[in-house]
Amino acid sequence: MIDKSKLHIKLIIILMIILNFIGCESKYNIVGGGPGSTDGTPFIVQGNSLAEKLAWINSNARINGNYILDIFSNESITPHTLSYSTRNNITITLRSTSTSRIICLSENGSLFTIGSGVTLVLNENIVLDGRTNNIASLIKVNRRGTLVLNNGATIRNNINTAEVSGGGGGVCIETGGTFIMNGGSIQGNSIGIGRNGWGGGVYVTGTFIMYEGIISNNTTSYFGGGVYVQDDGIFTLNGGTISNNSSNFIGGGVGLFSGSFHMVNGIITSNSALSQGAGVYVQEAYFSKVGGIIYGYTEDNTNSNIVRDDSGTILFDRGHAIRARQYSGSIIRNKNMTADHLINLTWDGTTDPPSWSGAWDN
């Protein structure tokens, strides 16, 4: 005969094993069901603060998880790294459904460092606010990480004073990282002391695609007031506006030192530089313009990108709209007047011999 008491004990033990297995599934990256379902269905994370919600994700995130963090009040948080070991393809969306919510950085560092396999989405009404004496970009996107900035979101007011080359004031996109700007704004950021300032608004060695939005009122002490591109970085401008950025040396709106810049549409206007290339400065890099408008100098200064020195003297033939040049040598092309949507310009970055096309001034 079957001993029913022993059978009951065995069933209880089996049930306990199953429950323990289910309870540990996030630890072992088990796919399916529960909070943050791995089929991509959004899961709204609960908690009393943003820091608390981020801590929950750190402990419970699953492969293919899609997490929404609602922000109900202004908050101040320490720097956070969004990286989850072997758990990847994770999307985290910050949103406010009613009014603007400001997320401030409470101590030096990057507010968010986006790790491999993670996408951070900033939706309407989300404002990331930096520090006036920081030592890092406000957001850093590492290899295989992705940042998405949507309409109505803002990255602002971060002053990166690190005394080393590199970095970015607002956003730093490392090699292999991706930044997609669908709208929103990057404004009031700055970088650099002396010749250590690279990319007041955005620093690119990865991939940056801008569809809409505005990059404005960012500054650099050296190179690339709005956007700076180098190494294998790729910047594609499909729309939006880059305006009122400034450089204390070269590349007020956009600066390139290697890498590539493809301008398909959009507007580059009202930027300034103290030496060369107020709108765009290209140094031995690939540049193509097949649409959009890069303003040059006009006497009434309407929409003008202007190269002028510290005393305010306008420097002609320095590329108010665009300046492309060899690192050292006499190979130079300028565009001082406005290059509208009908004017196409290219340089493949070669110097021996250089390959140019379009209506350059010389």
281-328 per-position pLDDT tens digit: 999 999 999 999 999 998 888 899 999 999 999 998 899 999 999 887
**pLDDT per residue over 102-160, tens digit each?**
999 999 999 999 999 999 999 999 999 999 999 999 999 999 999 999 999 999 999 99
Burial 31-43 (b: 16+ CB within 10 A, else e): eeeebbbbeeeeb
Contact 338, 293 (CB under 8 A): yes
Contact 188, 194 (CB under 8 A): no
Provide the token pair at 339: 């290059």
161 Cβ partners below 8 Å, 6+ apart? 133, 134, 135, 191, 192, 193
Burial 79-117 (b: 16+ CB within 10 A, else e): bbbbbbeebbebbbbbbbeeeebbbebeebbbbbbbbeb
Q: How far apart are CA 108 and CA 22, in angstroms?
A: 40
pLDDT band at 28 (very low <50, low <70, confident <90, very high): very low
pLDDT of amino acid 73: 96
Contact 242, 212 (CB under 8 A): no
**pLDDT per residue over 150-182, tens digit each?**
999 999 999 999 876 558 999 999 999 999 999
Amino acid at 356: W
Q: Which of 80, 51, 191 is nearest to 145 (CA)?
A: 80
Give all strands (DSSP E) within 11-130, no chain letters: 43-44, 66-70, 75-77, 80-82, 90-95, 101-105, 112-114, 118-122, 126-129
DSSP 8-class letter at 195: G
Taken as a whole, the chain contains a residue count of 362
**pLDDT per residue over 194-251, tens digit each?**
777 899 999 999 999 999 999 999 999 999 999 999 999 999 999 999 999 999 999 9
pLDDT of 17 > 80? The answer is no
Contact 92, 121 (CB under 8 A): yes
Percent of the residues in the chain that have a pLDDT greater than 70, as a whole number: 88
Judged by DSSP in three states, 35 sits in coil
In the predicted model, what is the mean pLDDT of residues 44-70? 96
pLDDT of amino acid 298: 87
